[in-house]
C-alpha cells in the first residue's frame, strides 16, 4: 500500500492506470502522459540534471561528498554505503520503522529511479573520514571490532560488517562514519530502529549487541571506526 502522499514524478509509465469511467479514457490519458514525458523519463530513468540536483540537495545536510556533517544532530556519512542498505533505510523512514520527520519527507519524494541513481552515486563517493573523535581508546575499539567481546556474547563486528568495515548488502559500511552518530545509534538502538511493531525489521539483529556493549566500549568502537578509510 502506497503512502497517501506518494507522488509520481511527471511522465512515469502509467501501465496500471484505470479510469473509473472505463477504458475509454486510457487513450487520451496515454496521450497526455506521453506529452509530458521526456524519452528518458518514459523508460523509468531520471535525467542526469535531476539526479545531480537531488544529490547536491542531499549533500547540504549529509556534507560535502556525503562525508557526514555535525549539524544540530550528527548527520551520517552516506559515502561508500552499500546500495541495498541505503534503499532499506529510505524505505524504513517511509514505513516509520525509523522515526525521523525530516527523512520521512525526503523518502516520500524519491521515485524508485531516483533512489537507484542516488544510491549508486553515494556508493561511489569516497571522501576522507570527517574525523575529530577522541583517540585514546582506538586500540580497544579495534579489538572489539575484530574480536568482539566474548564475555558479553558480543560477536565480532567484522563478521558482518566486513574486516575493513565496508559493509555488504544489507549491512552498512561503518568505516569513516561519524563518531557521535555511531555512539548515538548504539546507545539508543531501541528508540531508533525497528519502531514499527507491525513491520518487523532486520535491525533486530543489532539489538542484543547494542544492549550488551557498555558505554565506554561503544565509544571506543565508534572512535576506531570513525577514522577508518
Partner 1 sequence: MRSLNSLQFNRTTRARFVWLVSQKLKSAGSHVGLAALILTFVLVGTVSAQHRISLSGDVQAKISYCKDCHGVSAQGFNGYYPIPRLAGQQPEYIENQLRAFIEHRRTNNIMFNVAHSLSPAMINALTAHFASLNPPPIGGAPRQLVATGRKIFEDGMPEVNIAACAACHGPEATGSGQIPRLAGQLYPYMIKTLGSWDKERGRNPTVPDAAAIMSPVAHSLNKSQIEAVAAFVSTLRSPRGTPNAVQ
Residues that bind partner 1 (CB under 8 A): 7, 53-54, 56-57, 60-61, 69-75, 100-102, 105-106, 108-110, 180, 184, 187-188, 192
CA angle, corner 226, sides to 222 and 228, nearest 5? 120
Residue (166 or 218) nearer to partner 1, CB: 218
Residue 110: CB minimum distance to partner 1, A: 8
Q: What is the C-alpha to C-alpha distance for residues 168 and 159, in angstroms, rounded to an integer?
A: 11
Report residue 24 as a C-alpha cell: 475509454
Residue (143 or 187) nearer to partner 1, CB: 187
Residue 36: CB minimum distance to partner 1, A: 16
Half-sphere exposure of 6 (CA within 13 A, CB side): 9
Residue (146 or 180) nearer to partner 1, CB: 180
Residue (31 or 109) nearer to partner 1, CB: 109
Residue 111: CB minimum distance to partner 1, A: 11
Strand partners, 168: 171
Residues with Cβ within 8 Å of 162's Cβ and at least 6 positions away in sequence, in order, are 168, 171, 173
> CB–CB of 39/7 below 8 Å?
no
Residue 114: CB minimum distance to partner 1, A: 11
Residue corresponding to grid cell 556519512:
77
Residue 95: CB minimum distance to partner 1, A: 17
Residue (192 or 201) nearer to partner 1, CB: 192
| Phi-psi region at 62: left, alpha or beta (left = phi > 0; alpha = psi -120 to 50) | alpha
Amino acid at each position: 500500500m502506497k503512502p497517501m502522499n506518494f507522488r509520481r514524478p511527471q511522465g512515469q509509465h502509467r501501465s496500471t492506470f484505470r479510469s473509473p469511467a472505463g477504458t475509454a479514457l486510457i487513450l487520451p490519458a496515454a496521450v497526455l502522459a506521453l506529452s509530458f514525458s521526456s524519452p528518458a523519463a518514459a523508460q523509468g530513468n531520471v535525467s542526469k540534471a535531476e539526479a545531480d540536483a537531488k544529490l547536491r540537495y542531499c549533500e547540504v545536510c549529509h556534507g560535502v561528498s556525503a562525508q557526514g556533517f555535525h549539524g544540530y544532530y550528527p548527520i551520517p556519512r552516506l559515502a561508500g554505503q552499500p546500495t541495498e542498505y541505503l534503499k532499506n533505510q529510505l524505505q524504513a523512514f517511509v514505513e516509520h520503522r525509523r522515526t525521523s520527520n525530516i527523512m520521512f519527507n525526503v523518502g516520500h519524494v524519491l521515485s524508485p529511479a531516483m533512489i537507484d541513481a542516488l544510491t549508486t552515486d553515494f556508493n561511489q563517493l569516497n571522501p576522507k573520514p570527517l574525523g575529530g573523535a577522541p583517540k585514546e581508546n582506538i586500540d580497544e575499539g579495534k579489538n572489539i571490532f575484530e574480536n568482539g567481546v566474548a564475555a558479553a556474547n558480543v560477536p565480532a563486528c567484522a563478521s558482518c560488517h566486513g574486516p575493513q568495515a565496508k559493509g555488504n548488502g544489507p549491512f552498512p559500511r561503518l568505516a569513516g562514519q561519524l563518531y557521535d552518530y555511531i555512539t548515538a545509534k548504539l546507545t539508543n538502538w531501541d528508540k531508533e530502529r525497528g519502531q514499527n511493531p507491525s513491520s518487523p525489521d532486520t535491525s533486530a539483529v543489532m539489538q542484543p549487541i547494542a544492549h550488551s556493549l557498555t558505554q565506554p566500549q561503544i565509544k571506543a568502537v565508534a572512535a576506531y571506526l570513525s577514522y577508518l578509510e
